[in-house]
């Protein structure tokens, strides 16, 4: 089946042609018709399979047809809940592209920025609202948002919302939504908690599960090399040198690690960007845009960026640090090999990370191919690095600097706890 076979409005087909969509992916093929029929859908599919278009196309088509044939109905008709600010912006971009020639107006709200401009935009009228649960709940509880006319509720990356502790916000928001509505529930992974949340929201849902035995995209080539923790920077340098034109997304465990790896790359004249929770929203969006445009070919990230972010043309995902939660491996490597593109995932595994590797292989039900590095090759990679001059004194000084930064931030954390809830609104 091709997209030209769907009974979308001409304006939607125009957007489909402009976006270069020809054939639907599996999740799109299995989801679009049930959504168009108004049924609830519970969809489990790995990241990078085209989930956003799977719900955006039928929703925009439905709302455009309604508005074209009747007076403009007031109020928000569709709410899309997502776990992170970056994902909210990305999904809104997709809605904007699809609705470009239609009467439908999408908008997004998220925490981390002043709410006044968001409130002003909402007053101009919005049909589709993409939001993080925290900011959405804030605006509803303050009376700036009315959700009583919502016809479709979409939860995307639901498993991540649970991980971030948004379960209470989501359940509290249900009180403001009509009982009679269509609910679409999308998640990359499924477990007991996700099932409980899903079945509390959907009614007689069509269940769609893509590649249940293999949660990792088949478009990604996976490999692991055994590299000691202090030597990882040398092998990252080598990877960049051997693939100078490639776009590389590097995942590390902590914010401090992200900054330290960036400094290590600077010492060998490799430009890179970092993205993590300590960066302000404007800085994070600017970093993503710079990386997307290819102005800088390496982005070093914590897991805040692993979920749902669609960065075109990522050639390599590097697990500089293996994730402590096995399912995060799936979300990380899903940044490459998206749609019908091919990608490569390389993991650096130190001695102390062997158990994490075993957990990942168990979770994915696959053995990851090992890149064998003989002693000579290993030594040459370290010895011939431009950073080989970084002796123990340099490393000690860097560690001391990071320690000082951490000590400066500690009082602020204690103060937040004293004043009440320290939970951030996203």
174 and 89 housed in the same domain = yes
225 and 323 housed in the same domain = yes
**Domain total for the chain?**
2
116 and 74 housed in the same domain = yes
**pLDDT, tens digit (0-9, with 9 covering 90-100), for 154-190:** 999 888 888 777 888 888 888 899 989 999 999 877 7
- Output the pTM of the full model: 0.66
> Does residue 413 lie in a domain region?
no
Q: Would you state the pLDDT for residue 181? A: 94
> Does residue 426 lie in a domain region?
no
Q: Report the residue count for the chain.
A: 426
> In whole angstroms, how far apart are CA 222 and each of 188, 368, 370?
19, 6, 9
| 229 closest CA partner among 316, 322, 361 | 322
> Does residue 411 lie in a domain region?
no
331 and 192 housed in the same domain = no
**pLDDT, tens digit (0-9, with 9 covering 90-100), for 371-401:** 999 999 999 999 888 775 544 445 455 556 6
Residue 155 burial by CB count (10 A; 0-12/13-18/19+): exposed, middle or buried? buried
CATH of the domain at 291: 3.40.50.300
154 forms bridges with which residues in the sheet?
A: 80, 184
**pLDDT, tens digit (0-9, with 9 covering 90-100), for 243-270:** 999 999 999 999 999 999 999 999 999 9
Query: Are the C-beta atoms of residues 220 and 345 closer than 8 Å to each other?
Result: yes
pLDDT (tens, 9 = 90+) of the chain, 426 residues, equals 899 999 999 999 999 999 989 999 889 999 999 999 999 999 988 767 788 999 999 999 999 988 877 655 578 999 999 988 888 988 999 999 999 999 999 999 998 788 999 999 898 889 999 999 989 999 999 999 999 999 999 999 888 888 777 888 888 888 899 989 999 999 877 778 888 888 888 888 899 887 545 556 678 899 999 999 999 999 999 999 999 999 999 999 999 999 999 999 999 999 999 998 777 777 888 888 899 889 999 999 998 765 556 787 899 999 999 999 888 898 888 888 876 788 999 999 999 999 999 999 998 888 999 999 999 999 999 988 877 554 444 545 555 665 565 555 544 444 444 444 444 444
Query: Are the C-beta atoms of residues 24 and 52 closer than 8 Å to each other?
Result: no
User: Measured in whole angstroms, how far is the alpha carbon of residue 415 from the centre of its chain?
Assistant: 31
197 and 308 housed in the same domain = no
110 vs 132: CA distance, rounded Å: 5
155 and 293 housed in the same domain = no
44 and 185 housed in the same domain = yes
Number of H-type helices and E-type strands within the chain: 16, 14
Range of the domain at 263: 220-398
114 and 259 housed in the same domain = no
243 and 108 housed in the same domain = no
């Amino acid at each position: 089946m091709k997209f030209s076979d769907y009974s979308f409005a001409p304006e939607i087909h125009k957007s489909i042609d402009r976006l270069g969509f020809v054939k639907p992916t599996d999740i799109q093929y299995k989801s679009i018709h049930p959504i168009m029929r108004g049924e609830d859908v519970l969809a489990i599919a790995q990241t990078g399979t085209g989930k956003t278009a799977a719900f955006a196309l039928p929703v925009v088509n439905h709302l455009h047809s309604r508005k074209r044939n009747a007076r403009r109905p007031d109020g928000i008709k569709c709410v899309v809940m997502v776990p992170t600010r970056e994902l909210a912006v990305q999904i809104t971009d997709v809605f904007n592209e699809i609705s470009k020639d239609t009467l439908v107006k999408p908008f997004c709200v998220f925490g981390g920025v002043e709410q006044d401009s968001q409130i002003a935009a909402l007053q101009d009228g919005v049909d589709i609202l993409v939001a993080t649960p925290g900011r959405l709940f804030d605006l509803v509880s303050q009376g700036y948002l009315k959700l009583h006319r919502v016809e479709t509720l979409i939860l995307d990356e639901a498993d991540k919302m649970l991980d971030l502790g948004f379960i209470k916000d989501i359940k509290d928001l249900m009180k403001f939504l009509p009982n009679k509505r269509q609910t679409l529930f999308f998640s990359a992974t499924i477990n007991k908690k996700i099932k409980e949340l899903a079945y509390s929201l959907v009614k007689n849902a069509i269940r769609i599960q893509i590649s249940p035995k293999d949660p990792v995209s088949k478009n990604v080539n996976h490999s692991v090399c055994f590299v000691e923790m202090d030597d990882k920077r040398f092998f990252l340098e080598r990877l960049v040198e051997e693939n100078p034109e490639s776009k590389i997304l590097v995942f590390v465990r902590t914010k401090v690690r992200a900054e330290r790896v960036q400094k290590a790359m600077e010492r060998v004249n490799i430009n890179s960007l970092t993205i993590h929770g300590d960066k302000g929203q404007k800085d994070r969006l600017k970093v993503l845009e710079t990386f997307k445009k290819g102005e800088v070919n390496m982005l070093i990230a914590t897991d805040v960026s692993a979920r749902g972010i669609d960065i075109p043309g990522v050639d390599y995902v590097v697990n500089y640090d293996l994730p402590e939660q096995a399912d995060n491996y799936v979300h990380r490597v899903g940044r490459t090999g998206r749609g019908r593109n091919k990608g490569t995932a390389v993991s650096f595994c130190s001695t102390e990370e062997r158990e994490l590797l075993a957990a990942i292989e168990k979770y994915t039900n696959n053995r990851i191919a090992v890149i064998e590095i003989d002693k000579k090759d290993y030594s040459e990679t370290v010895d011939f690095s431009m950073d080989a001059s970084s002796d123990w004194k340099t490393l000690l000084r860097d560690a001391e600097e990071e320690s000082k930064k951490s000590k400066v931030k500690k009082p602020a954390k204690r103060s937040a706890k004293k004043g009440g809830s320290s939970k951030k609104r996203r």
